[in-house]
Structures are given as C-alpha cells and as structure tokens.
Amino acid sequence: MKTFKSLLVTLVVVFFSQLLYAQQDYTGLYMTYNDFLQKKLSYPVECGSKNGKLRLNELFGSSKGFVIQNGEKHEFDKKRVYGYRTCANKNYRFYNNSSYEILDTAGFYIYYQYRLEQKVKGKGAIKTDEYFFSRYAGDPILALTADNLKKAFPANHMFHHELDAQFRSDKDLMAYDSYAKNYKVKCLYNDSLK
C-alpha cells in the first residue's frame, strides 16, 4: 500500500511538472504591458519548432523585428510592442529601440542590459553590465542610481535615508541578499513601506 501511494504521488508530481514545463516552453511577444502582466504572448512559437522563430534584428539597431509562426512571417515595430519572452524563459522589454532584461518586478521594476563600449584609450570594446529601473511596467526606464530612485519615490524619505546609509556608490545598488533571496535595494524599499 505504501509503495502504491508513493508511486501515485510521484506520478502526480511528474504530470504537473511536465504540464507546467509545457506551458512555459514558448517564445513570443508581449504587445502591451498588460499582456506582460497577464503573461499573454502574441504570436507564440514553440521552442525548438522548425516552423517558427523570433528575430529581433538588433545587430544593426533596426527598429523592426519579425516572428515566423506556422510558416507565416509577422513583422513588428519595437516601438509598438512592449517586449518578448525567450525560450530560456527570460522576459525583455523594448524601450528606445533597445532590449532590457526584466530581472525583478516586485515593488518596482529592475532591468539589466549587457553593453559593449569602446574605450577612448586602449584596445577594443569592453563588456559592461548596466542596471536600470522603472517604477511601473509602462514607465520610462532610468539608470539605477540612488538619485533616480529618490526622484521616483519623492515622498518616501525613509527609503532616501536608507539608500544614503547602506550604499556607498550606485554600483552597490545591485547587491544581492542571498539570505532574503532578493536585491538589497528591494529589501530596503520594502522595509521603508512598513
């Protein structure tokens, strides 16, 4: 009897995990920020499918991209689309003809962007990790700095004081608290609301 119950529990867990995995195995576009909030993909393409793909044309800074779905090509303008989801289950937002990875959405949005920058003195390009934020899903994306956070939350004086006390520079704002499993700036923000 114990063997039967454990087998049944195992089968149920495997079934539901496969069901969840299958539901998230798509790439596609979020036409609006409401679509993103509701996780509603337009032109969904099954990952690994030979009948579809998502192309962003970012190499040359094009404002156009396209989705091939079931053999049909659908062109889109990045200025009119909120963002997209990749097969790696990462969400991105388009803003000013650039893509920003959405890292966190609780309280306010944190974004990441990988950039190659030319050094004035020296050879070649260097990789930089840049972080940004927006107060809400549809708000402008700003550089993640203490000054910009204070401007975005002008009435939250406790948050202002904590930013000054806890972070020496803007680079420190992306520190991650492995115990709380959250970014420290988000922990401070949440604490300031209590």
Per-residue model confidence (pLDDT) at position 121: 64
Alpha carbon separation from 74 to 1, 61, 95, 102, 110 (Å, rounded): 55, 19, 20, 24, 30
pLDDT single digits (tens) 101-141? 999 999 999 999 998 776 666 667 778 899 999 999 999 99
- Residue 158 above 90 pLDDT? yes
Residue that is written with structure tokens 């406790």 in the block: 158
Q: Rounded to an integer, what distance in angstroms lies between the CA atom of residue 31 and that of residue 128?
A: 29
Torsion angle in degrees (nearest 10) through CA of 102, 103, 107, 108? -50
pLDDT single digits (tens) 5-34? 554 445 444 455 454 444 458 999 999 999
pLDDT single digits (tens) 63-92? 889 998 888 899 999 999 999 999 999 999
Q: Rounded to an integer, what distance in angstroms lies between the CA atom of residue 60 and that of residue 146?
A: 32
Q: So where are the chain's domains? A: 90-194
